[in-house]
């Protein structure tokens, strides 16, 4: 959907006026284009001498074709595309000055749509209380840096458990590339084995079967197209009322269509049977189907409450129970399950007690299910979109819509492809060390955790 304010303030008289008045000037974000380099510009890599990750990261980035610079002093006119600091060697608060030493002289030279990345250790994996405090301090630093960055740049914190240094490539490829255009101020944890390495990073899902619910339109349609772009055969699932649109989407991306009401009593068995007979199982399941029935709590009928919980949460639980059944699993070993939650499930929203409850429930589902599936190498994660430009948000009243667009560090709404890229990251066979996590795709929204 068009953001007329962004167009107005992007240059010319509108841009001049916005600057003089101190109004937000949203920067057009650089997003991934097929065939483009994974890393658009030079990456400056630094860290504590005792850091665990810098060596592995340097090798991975160089092998991926990145221009990596280490040990270089800041210089006039140099505009790095990314600043990366390995902070795993920071053992106590006295050493946190290393963050200032590295970033202070460089951060203002970061290129438009640049990336700031700090790599640390999960506090629960540290050996002393002082080290745990210092590593926890990294989160406050990164979240604040993300709110200071300009021109579409982002900041992330990657926590790497000891022994997982070789498992970070999928995550660093995501957070350092244009694929993470609308993700900022986030914390991701890499803990465990990397999973399978794709034969091609351009087609990481080649030979995989993916299922996307609610795939006939909106975010679900773009998720389906993105997974197909990455090589998967996508089973596009939606209700019969969306049949025409569903089949058009499936035909366009070279997938297949399945009409199914996820709330039907026999839906889990019907889906399992379809996947078994037609595809031999599934590698990726994306639970995207969702509805809203907004009313304030005092005006909300029981029917509005029940319908939202049934579609958004209970159906996901029932489908996963069947697809992950220990005696007859449909999701293959090493499979990926991704749930589409919402920022409403984290921060809440007026008139959405039912919707927010369902989306918060998905987060609880993901976090409780992940340890259960870990033995089979199956990861379970969630994405939580903020304000995304869709036909649904286009119908929101003007002033509420503008508030949704501006109440984040990037001062703009995201695009459906931003959610889809996050789903594709979780779906990658190389993301096996990332599970039980919730990634906000919200431009670092100013509300919520």
Residue spans per domain, the chain: 31-190, 209-441
What does the pLDDT average to over 422-440? Answer: 97
Homologous superfamily (CATH) for 209-441: NAD(P)-binding Rossmann-like Domain (3.40.50.720)
Q: Any bridge partners for residue 84, and if so which?
A: 45, 117
Q: Is the pLDDT of residue 107 over 90?
A: yes
Q: Any bridge partners for residue 331, and if so which?
A: 282
Q: 209-441: same fold as 31-190?
A: yes
* Helices and strands in the chain, H and E counts: 16, 13
Q: Higher-confidence residue: 420 or 445?
A: 420
Q: Is the pLDDT of residue 20 over 70?
A: no
Q: Which of 253, 86, 72, 284 is nearest to 168 (CA)?
A: 86
Q: Is the pLDDT of residue 19 over 90?
A: no
User: Is domain 31-190 classified as CATH 3.40.50.720?
Assistant: yes
Q: What is the pLDDT of residue 195?
A: 75
Contacts of 186 (CB under 8 A, 6+ apart): 156, 157, 439, 440, 444
Q: What is the pLDDT of residue 59?
A: 95
What DSSP string runs through 212-228? EETTTSHHHHHHHHHHH
Query: How sure is the predictor about 105, in pLDDT bands with cuts at 50, 70 and 90?
Result: very high
Q: Which residues are catalytic?
A: 355
Query: How sure is the predictor about 301, in pLDDT bands with cuts at 50, 70 and 90?
Result: very high
Q: What is the pLDDT of residue 3?
A: 67
Q: What is the pLDDT of residue 76?
A: 75
pLDDT digits (tens, 9 = 90+) for 192-202: 987 778 989 99
Q: Which of 312, 313, 366 is nearest to 336 (CA)?
A: 366
pLDDT digits (tens, 9 = 90+) for 390-400: 877 766 666 67
Q: Is the pLDDT of residue 30 over 80?
A: yes
> In whole numbers, what is the pLDDT of the chain averaged over residues?
92
**Lowest mean pLDDT segment, chosen from 1-5, 159-163, 230-234:** 1-5
What does the pLDDT average to over 86-103? Answer: 97
Provide the sign of the torsion angle of the four alpha carbons 70, 74, 78, 80, taken in this order: positive
pTM assigned to the model: 0.94
Helix (H, G, I), strand (E, B) or coil at 75: coil
Kind of pairing between the strands at 43-47 and 282-287: unpaired
What does the pLDDT average to over 372-395? Answer: 89
């Amino acid at each position: 959907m068009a953001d007329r304010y962004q167009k107005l303030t992007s240059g010319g008289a509108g841009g001049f006026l916005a600057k003089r008045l101190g109004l937000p000037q949203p920067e057009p974000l650089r997003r991934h284009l097929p065939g483009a380099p994974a890393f658009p510009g030079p990456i400056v890599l630094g860290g504590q001498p005792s850091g665990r990750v810098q060596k592995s990261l340097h090798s991975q980035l160089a092998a991926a074709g990145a221009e990596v610079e280490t040990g270089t002093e800041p210089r006039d006119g140099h505009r790095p595309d990314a600043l990366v600091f390995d902070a795993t060697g920071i053992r106590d608060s006295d050493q946190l000055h290393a963050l200032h030493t590295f970033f202070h002289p460089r951060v203002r030279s970061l290129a438009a749509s640049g990336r700031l990345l700090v790599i640390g250790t999960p506090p629960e994996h540290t050996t002393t209380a002082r080290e745990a405090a210092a590593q926890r301090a990294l989160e406050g630093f990164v979240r604040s840096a993300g709110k200071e960055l300009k021109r579409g740049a982002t900041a992330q914190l990657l926590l790497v458990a000891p022994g997982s240094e070789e498992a970070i490539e999928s995550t660093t490829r995501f957070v350092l590339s244009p694929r993470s255009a609308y993700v900022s101020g986030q914390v991701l944890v890499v803990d465990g084995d990397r999973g399978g390495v794709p034969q091609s990073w351009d087609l990481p899902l080649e030979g995989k079967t993916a299922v996307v619910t609610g795939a006939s339109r909106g975010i679900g349609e773009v998720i389906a197209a993105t997974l197909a772009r990455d090589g998967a055969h996508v089973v596009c699932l939606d209700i019969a009322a969306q049949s025409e649109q569903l089949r058009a989407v499936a035909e366009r991306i070279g997938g297949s269509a399945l009409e199914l009401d996820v709330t039907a009593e026999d839906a889990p068995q019907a889906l399992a049977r379809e996947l078994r007979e037609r595809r031999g199982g599934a590698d990726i399941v994306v639970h995207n189907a969702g509805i809203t029935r907004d009313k304030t709590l005092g005006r909300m009928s029981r029917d509005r409450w029940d319908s939202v919980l049934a579609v958004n949460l209970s159906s996901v639980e029932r489908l996963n129970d069947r697809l992950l059944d220990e005696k007859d699993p449909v999701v293959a070993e090493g499979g990926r399950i991704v749930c589409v939650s919402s920022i409403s499930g984290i921060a809440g929203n007026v008139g959405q007690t039912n919707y927010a409850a369902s989306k918060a429930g998905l987060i609880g589902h993901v976090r409780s299910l992940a340890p259960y599936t870990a033995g089979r190498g199956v990861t379970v994660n969630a994405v939580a979109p903020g304000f995304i430009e869709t036909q649904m948000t286009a119908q929101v009243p003007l002033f509420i819509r503008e508030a949704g667009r501006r109440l984040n560090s990037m001062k703009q709404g995201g695009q459906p492809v931003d959610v889809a890229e996050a789903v594709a990251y979780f779906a990658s066979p190389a993301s096996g060390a990332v599970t039980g996590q919730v990634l906000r795709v919200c431009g670092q929204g100013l509300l919520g955790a």
